[in-house]
Amino acid sequence: MLFRTGKAGPVRAGTAALAAALAVELVDELADGTRSAALPLIRHGLALSYGQIGLLESAPLLLGGVLELPLGVLAGRGRRRRLAVLAGGIVFTLALLGTAAARSFAALLVAFVLFFPASGAFVSLTQAGLMDADPGRREQHMARWQLAGAVGSVGGPVLLIAVLAAGGGWRSAYLVLAAAAAAAWAGAARNPPGAVPQGCPARPGAAAAARRALAAVREPGVARWLVLLQVSDLLLDVFTGFLALYLVAVAHATPAQAALGVAVRLGAGLAGDAALIRALRHAPGLAVLRASAAVAAVAFPAFLLAGGLVPKLLLLGCLSASTAPWYPVLQARLYESLPDQSGVVVSLLSAAGLAGGAVPLAIGLLAQRFGLAWALAGLAVAPLCLLGGARRPPGTGGAGAAGGPAGLRT
């Protein structure tokens, strides 16, 4: 357990492990936020088409997802998982360095593809260890995880703006990211979270692990949460990935204004994450999720239709704050549906990610033919699907249910 002890030594060790895990998530989202803000500069520097941008968004999800697919069930727990985390952190750092050094579309594509499974090993398995370390406090740890990621996401555009102000470019920003990743790796190596809980089952072999993952999909609620997580991502990572391009190409913003727009989105999301922790003390998670989906169903079309940069940024802030509950509530529900199987959750998320991996490519191709505004309009289905799918399952309820007020974040 991370915190349930009366001895000062274990408490300090658990706190250090939690801080190391949150640093890993912070650096991952710092890289993602920087990439989103830097995409117009990368496109200009390497003369990329919209189709190539779409491929840069989709290929890591598809090819990298295939590499990541067996990772969760094969890594198991304990020493083997720790080695997978550390190996992933090394490749994670090298992929950032490779991005900084890329001089062609092909080199950039290779770096982006390598980054995805490396992130799965370094970040997703760290999250799984955190979930295993204290099963009774999954939701609280997911809240902290989400908040650390939001801080990193906000920091990404800020990092890019600072580098540009200092006379550097997007390559310099990626060198800074690589240094931050190396520091996070050192912390994870020193303070790994998620020791094997007492009495946990032995790690299965590869064939048994694969059968276990396939059987898990048939567990009540698992497929539902997997699908809703992929749908929610349309207005989370997918939209964020195209946001800076949209602001430059459609709203006629400068690259610096586009980076500011990404910062507004991520900053509003950070505020939403902080508000979510308080909201979940008073309302069930699914009720908060449905309310946020209703707001997003109005805010996103209004953002697309608004004229002028300032109105778009105001609506963008509203939209971003409203989507804050989506990932943590749905992810906590998925872990809750498969107790003591966090590695299986990692592999199932990779498999589900393959299904959604073609979406950015489709958006890029549609943007090439019809324009980016029309291509992004289809993302409006996400909040509508969440309104229909995020209903409380029959036979659930009570304060102790995941997402209920008594069981969630503090």
User: Does residue 398 form part of some domain?
Assistant: no
Orientation angle between helical segments 206-217 and 342-356, nearest 10 degrees: 70
pLDDT of residue 67 exceeding 80: no
User: Does residue 401 form part of some domain?
Assistant: no
Query: Hey, which of 248-257, 261-270, 294-303, 331-340 has the most confident mean pLDDT?
Result: 294-303
Name the one residue in this structure whose structure tokens are 């449905």. Answer: 290
The answer to whether the beta carbons of residues 297 and 384 sit under 8 Å apart is yes
pLDDT tens for each residue of 184-224: 999 988 877 654 444 444 445 555 555 666 666 667 678 88
Q: What whole-number distance in Å separates Cα of residue 113 and Cα of residue 331?
A: 24
User: Does residue 200 form part of some domain?
Assistant: no
pLDDT of residue 335 exceeding 70: yes
Within 10 angstroms of residue 227's Cβ, the number of other Cβ atoms is 16
Name which of 300, 313, 327 is nearest 384 in CA terms.
300
User: Does residue 54 form part of some domain?
Assistant: yes
pLDDT given at position 395: 42
Position 9 confidence tier, pLDDT thresholds 50, 70, 90: very low
Q: What whole-number distance in Å separates Cα of residue 202 and Cα of residue 84?
A: 18
pLDDT given at position 210: 57
Mean pLDDT of 36-40: 84
pLDDT of residue 5 exceeding 70: no
User: Does residue 1 form part of some domain?
Assistant: no
User: Does residue 299 form part of some domain?
Assistant: yes
pLDDT given at position 13: 46
User: Does residue 170 form part of some domain?
Assistant: yes
pLDDT given at position 196: 43
When mean pLDDT is compared across 35-44, 238-247, 273-282, 386-395, the lowest value belongs to 386-395
pLDDT given at position 266: 78
pLDDT given at position 352: 75
Q: What is the mean pLDDT of the chain?
A: 80
- The SS3 of residue 77 is coil
Q: Over pLDDT 70: what percentage of the chain?
A: 80
User: Does residue 270 form part of some domain?
Assistant: yes
pLDDT tens for each residue of 11-34: 444 678 888 889 999 999 899 889
Burial class (CB in 10 A: 0-12, 13-18, 19+), 300: buried
Q: Over pLDDT 90: what percentage of the chain?
A: 30
Domain of 52 in residue numbering reads as 14-195+206-389
Identify the CATH number of the domain in which residue 55 sits. 1.20.1250.20
Q: What whole-number distance in Å separates Cα of residue 72 and Cα of residue 134?
A: 18
Total structural domains within the chain: 1
Give CA separation, 367 vs 42, 129, 329, 338, 353, in Å. Answer: 18, 40, 32, 39, 22
